[in-house]
Each structure stands twice: as C-alpha cells, then as structure tokens.
Amino acid sequence: MAANTFGFIGLGNMGAPMCANLVAAGLSMRVFDAAGTAERAPEGAVAADSIADLAATTDTVFLSLPDGKISGLVCDAVLATADRRVSRVVDFSTTGPEAAGAMGAKLNAAGITFVDAPVSGGRAGAIAGSLTVIASGPESDMNDLATAFDAVGGNIFHVGEAPGQAQAVKLLNNFLSATAMAATSEAVLFGQKYGVDISTILDCVNVSSGRNTASADKFPNRVVTGTYDAGFATALMTKDVALYLEQVRVAGTPDEIGSVVSGRWNAVLEDMPESDFTEIYRHIAGETQTGE
C-alpha cells in the first residue's frame, strides 16, 4: 500500500474487531475512541491521545462510527488539525448518501481523498474478517486499499466513484435484512399457531423458496437458541431503515413497503430500546421486556 501509516477511529462492537484484523494483517495502526482508547485498543495498536494526534501522525484514517452526524464531526476535527498528515479518510460507517457526499466534498476541498466504504456482516463478520465491504471512491484508492479491505472483508465491491453510492447500496441491503427479519417473525408465528415446531418450519423454509437471511441465519442461531446476540442493536437497525426511507423519498422511488417496515421497527425500538435487532421476534410475539 502506498500509504504506510494508518489510523482507526471508533473501537466499538464493529470497529474493535475490524481494527484487530488490520493489525493482524501487518498494518501499523494508531487508534482513538472517545469512549476510552486504552481499554479498547487491540493488541499491537498504538493509542492516540486525540483525533488531532491521530490526524497528525497517520496517512490513512479509517472510521467506524454510529451515524453520519458523528462521522461528520470527526471529519471536521480532522480538518481542524493544523499539522495534519492524513491524506485519505475511509469511512466504514453507515451514514447515508447525503452525509457521505457532504463529508467527501469537505475533505476533497482540503486535499483529502474520501472513500465511502460501509460494511455488512455484523459483529460475527467483523471478528471473522468476512465482512462485505461496499466501497465508492477513486479506482486508484481501491487498488491501494486492497490489503486493508481484504483484512476486514471476504467480499469487496467497488460500486462507483462518488461518495454516497456505497451508502445507497448499504441502506438498501439493511432494508432488505430488516424486512426479512420482520416478515420471518410474522411467518414463523403463523406456523407455530398451527402447532408446527419452529425448527421444522425453518428446516422446510430453508430448502424452499422462502429462504432468506433471517430464516437461514438469525433464527437458527439467535432466536431458536434464545441468545438474541447478533451484535447489532435494534436502535441501529431502526436508524438505518429510517435513513433508507428518507433517501427513497428524496430519490422519488416507491416507498410503500419501506413505510410499513420502518413503522414496525420504530415500534420495536419504542418497546425494547436496548434490544438486539433479532429480538423483533419477541416483540411481534408479545414477549417483550416490559411484558415479562
């Protein structure tokens, strides 16, 4: 890779294991997290004192943050660093097309390349290094970032040159995931009402035309087991679906199904604000935290 010093900001559920995989791939990493860097930094990474410290000592900075507002504030802090060294920012966060476009415009105006690169695959994928990386940015940067992307992802897609294109694909993906989880919950409860065991329902569906990510993965591994530990919060899924619906309306494409799905996730969040997103099954079944 042309740039040989790297920074990582945001060491949460996704960021920490992603950063650990970058370290394992041999990248020299300086890291920062506003919630506490020393205790979250993966072994082999160097803790930075601040965003400014990191921006002044690294060439490429990766972000893994909760939303577009926080990503934007971090980019502003990078831009405000008087002695900054950073020449490229790669955002793994889900921010939405408009936020990505705004960040890209600000950074590019200051001579910093912006690569929009949201990821999919949840915490399990982040730990395994098997995430899908959906990237938009200059072709030359895709080539230069190949080692880093391979370290965190099993599938790498370059979907366009402009910031925001990758966000559009990420949002539609999360909308489909959210729809599958909600619809599968309703469908499974329907089958159970007729006395069919949940495992039998899933075995049948998963070799039939109704198979989806929820029936094949989330239900067998998180719902049937009662663990509800996909590692992706209901709050984040609700945010992503709402952002998808907002951008659909900006684009002027159909939104009827999106409106229904967003409404359902808003209800789950209101009922179970601290839940894992797989707990939508409990919400739909009436087995909510407040009802137990």
Same domain, 36 and 145: yes
Q: Band the pLDDT of 287: cuts 50, 70, 90.
A: confident
The size of the chain, in residues, is: 292
- Domain membership of residue 73 (yes or no) is yes
The verdict on residue 1 lying in a domain is no
Rounded Cα gap, residues 264 and 142, in angstroms: 37
Residue numbers annotated as active site: 170
pLDDT over 80 (residue 2): no
At 249 the pLDDT is 96
pLDDT tens-place string over residues 119-162? 999 888 999 999 999 999 999 999 999 999 999 999 999 999 99
**What's the whole-number mean pLDDT along residues 8-33?**
96
CA–CA separation, 2 and 16 (whole Å): 24
Task: Give pLDDT, residue 130.
Answer: 97
Count of domains for the chain: 2
Any domain includes 51: yes
Element (H, E) at 258: helix 256-271
Q: Verify that 143 and 179 share a domain, yes or no.
A: no
Q: Based on the fold, state whether residues 117 and 191 are members of the same structural domain.
A: no
Same domain, 116 and 255: no
Question: Are residues 157 and 35 both part of a single domain?
Answer: yes
Residues 235, 252 share a domain: yes
Write out pLDDT tens, residues 185-213: 999 999 999 999 999 999 999 999 999 99
Structure confidence at residue 1 (pLDDT): 43
Give the pLDDT of residue 212.
Answer: 98
Identify the pLDDT of residue 4: 75
Q: CA torsion angle for 169, 156, 95, 260 (degrees, to 10)?
A: 40
Last residue of a domain, one of 128, 161, 194: 161
pLDDT band at 95 (very low <50, low <70, confident <90, very high): very high
Judge whether 251 lies within some domain.
yes
- Structural domain boundaries enclosing 101: 6-161
110 occurs within a structural domain: yes
Distance CA(100)–CA(87), nearest Å, equals: 17
Kindly report the average pLDDT of the chain as a whole number: 95
Query: For residue 204, what are its two tokens?
Result: 């049948």
- Report d(CA 151, CA 46) in Å as an integer: 18
Q: What is the CATH number of the domain that holds 39?
A: 3.40.50.720
- pLDDT for 23: 97
Residues 24 and 141 in one domain: yes
Q: How far is CA 273 from the centre of its chain?
A: 19
Residues β-bridged to residue 133: 119, 156
255 and 153 together in one domain: no
Which tens digit of pLDDT belongs to each residue from 205-263?
999 999 999 999 999 999 999 999 998 999 999 999 999 999 999 999 999 999 999 99
Amino acid at 97: P
Calculate helix-pair angle for 165-193, 198-205, nearest 10 degrees.
Answer: 130
Domain assignment of residue 291, yes or no: no
Judge whether 116 and 167 are in contact, CB under 8 Å.
yes
For residue 290, the model assigns a pLDDT of 46
Give the Cα separation of 122 and 125 in Å (integer). Answer: 5
Express each pLDDT in 155-191 by its tens digit. 999 999 999 999 999 999 999 999 999 999 999 999 9
**SS3 category, 37:** coil
Domain co-membership, 151 together with 230: no
Q: How many whole angstroms separate alpha carbon 76 and alpha carbon 106? A: 8
Look at residue 104 in the predicted model and tell me its pLDDT.
Answer: 97
Count of helix runs (H) and strand runs (E) in the chain: 13, 9
43: burial class by Cβ within 10 Å (0-12, 13-18, 19+)? exposed
CA distance 20 to 96: 26
Same domain flag for 37 and 130: yes
pTM to 2 decimal places: 0.91
Q: Indicate if 127 and 208 belong to the same structural domain.
A: no
Rounded average pLDDT over 283-289: 84
Domain boundary among 161, 185, 201: 161
- Does residue 156 share a domain with residue 90? yes
Domain boundary among 112, 143, 161: 161
Q: Does 99 reside within a domain?
A: yes
